[in-house]
Structure 1
Amino acid sequence: MRTMRTLIMSGYVCCLGFMQPSQAQTVPRPVTLQAVEDSFLVKNYLLLAQRYQTDASKALIRQAKLWNNPSLSTVLGFRSMEKPRPFDIGRGGETQYTIDQLIQLAGKRNKNVQLAATAVKMNEATFDELVRTLRLQLRANFYNIYYLRRTEKVLKEQLGNLQTIVDAYITADKKGSVAHSDLIRLQALQVGIENDYADLKQQELDAQKNLQQLLHTQDFYDAILQPSDLASYTLDKIQLPQLLDSAAKYRPDVRIAAAQYQSAGLNYRLQQSMAVPDIHVGATYDKQGSYIPHFIGLTFGIDLPVWNRNQGNIRAAASQVNAVQQQLLQQQSVAQSEVLTAYQRIVALEKRYKGFDLHQFQGEFDTLIAEVARNFSKGNISLLQFIDYFNSYSDNAKNINKFLSNRVNAYEELNYATGQELFKL
Structure 2
Amino acid sequence: MKLGIMRTIRKLLLTAGVICLGFIQSTQAQTSTLQPISLQTVEDSFLVRNYALLAQRYQIDASQALIRQAKIWSNPSFSALLGFGSTNNIQPFKIGKDGETGYSIDQLIQLAGKRNKNIQLATTATRMSEATFDELLRTLKLQLRENYFNLYYQQQTGKVLKEQLDNLQTIVKAYVDADQKGSVAHADLIRLQALQVGLENDYADLKQQELESQKNLQQLLHSHDFYEARLGSTELASYSLDKLQLQQLLDTAGINRPDVRVADLEYQTAHLNYRLQKAMAVPDLHVGASYDKQGSYVDNFVGLTLGIDLPLWNRNQGNIRSAASQIKVNQQQLLQQQSIAQTEVLNAWQQIITLEKRYKSFDLHQFQGEFDTLINEVAKNFSKGNITLLQFIDYFNSYSDNAKNINTFLSKRVNAYEELNYATGQELFKK
Smaller-chain TM-score bracket: over 0.9
- What residue in structure 2 maps to residue 344 of structure 1? 350
C-alpha distance in 2 between matches for 1:106 and 1:202 = 65
Deviation (angstroms), 1:371 = 2.7
Cα deviation digits, residues 359-396 of structure 1 (max 9, x gap)? 11111111221232233234343211210110000000
- What residue in structure 1 maps to residue 71 of structure 2? 65
Deviation (angstroms), 1:23 = 5.6
Which runs of 5 or more residues in structure 1 are unaligned? 1-19
Which runs of 5 or more residues in structure 2 are unaligned? 1-24
- What residue in structure 1 maps to residue 113 of structure 2? 107
C-alpha distance in 1 between matches for 2:26 and 2:394 = 25
Quick one: percent identity of the two aligned structures?
A: 75
Q: Are residue 24 (structure 1) and residue 29 (structure 2) matched? A: yes
- Which of 146, 153, 159 in structure 1 is aligned with 2:159? 153
Q: Tell me the amino acid that sits aligned with residue 286 of structure 1.
A: D
Q: Tell me the amino acid that sits aligned with residue 68 of structure 2.
A: R
C-alpha distance in 2 between matches for 1:415 and 1:199 = 30
C-alpha distance in 2 between matches for 1:309 and 1:273 = 10
- TM-score, normalization by structure 2: 0.92
Deviation (angstroms), 1:291 = 1.1
Q: Quick check: 1:142–1:211 contact (8 Å CA) kept in 2?
A: yes
Q: Quick check: 2:289–2:302 contact (8 Å CA) kept in 1?
A: yes
C-alpha distance in 2 between matches for 1:307 and 1:419 = 49
Q: Are residue 76 (structure 1) and residue 82 (structure 2) matched? A: yes
After superposition, where does 1:349-364 map in structure 2 within 5 Å?
349-364=355-370
- What residue in structure 2 maps to residue 162 of structure 1? 168
Cα deviation digits, residues 71-111 of structure 1 (max 9, x gap)? 00111110112110111111111111110000001110000
SS of residue paired to 1:24: helix
Q: Are residue 265 (structure 1) and residue 265 (structure 2) matched? A: no
Q: Are residue 199 (structure 1) and residue 208 (structure 2) matched? A: no
- What residue in structure 2 maps to residue 331 of structure 1? 337
Deviation (angstroms), 1:22 = 8.6
Deviation (angstroms), 1:220 = 1.1
C-alpha distance in 2 between matches for 1:370 and 1:220 = 32
- Which of 239, 245, 261 in structure 1 is aligned with 2:251? 245
- Which of 184, 187, 205 in structure 2 is aligned with 1:181? 187
* Runs of 4+ that moved beyond 3 A: 20-23, 377-380
Query: Taking CA–CA contacts closer than 8 Å with sequence separation of 6 or more, which of the two structures ends up with the larger relative contact order?
Result: 1
Deviation (angstroms), 1:21 = 11
Cα deviation digits, residues 276-297 of structure 1 (max 9, x gap)? 1111010111111111111111
User: RMSD of aligned C-alpha atoms?
Assistant: 1.4
Cα deviation digits, residues 202-225 of structure 1 (max 9, x gap)? 111111111111111111111111
Q: Are residue 290 (structure 1) and residue 273 (structure 2) matched? A: no
C-alpha distance in 1 between matches for 2:63 and 2:83 = 47
C-alpha distance in 2 between matches for 1:420 and 1:112 = 32
Q: Quick check: 1:21–1:156 contact (8 Å CA) kept in 2?
A: no
- Which of 43, 47, 62 in structure 2 is aligned with 1:41? 47
C-alpha distance in 1 between matches for 2:372 and 2:193 = 22
SS of residue paired to 1:72: strand
C-alpha distance in 1 between matches for 2:137 and 2:53 = 7
C-alpha distance in 1 between matches for 2:26 and 2:71 = 65
Q: Quick check: 2:27–2:207 contact (8 Å CA) kept in 1?
A: no
- Which of 315, 320, 323 in structure 2 is aligned with 1:314? 320
- What residue in structure 2 maps to residue 17 of structure 1? none
Q: Quick check: 1:122–1:256 contact (8 Å CA) kept in 2?
A: yes
- TM-score, normalization by structure 1: 0.94
Q: Tell me the amino acid that sits aligned with residue 261 of structure 2.
A: R
SS of residue paired to 1:307: coil
Q: Quick check: 1:77–1:93 contact (8 Å CA) kept in 2?
A: yes
C-alpha distance in 1 between matches for 2:95 and 2:318 = 48
C-alpha distance in 2 between matches for 1:377 and 1:219 = 42
Q: Quick check: 1:21–1:153 contact (8 Å CA) kept in 2?
A: no
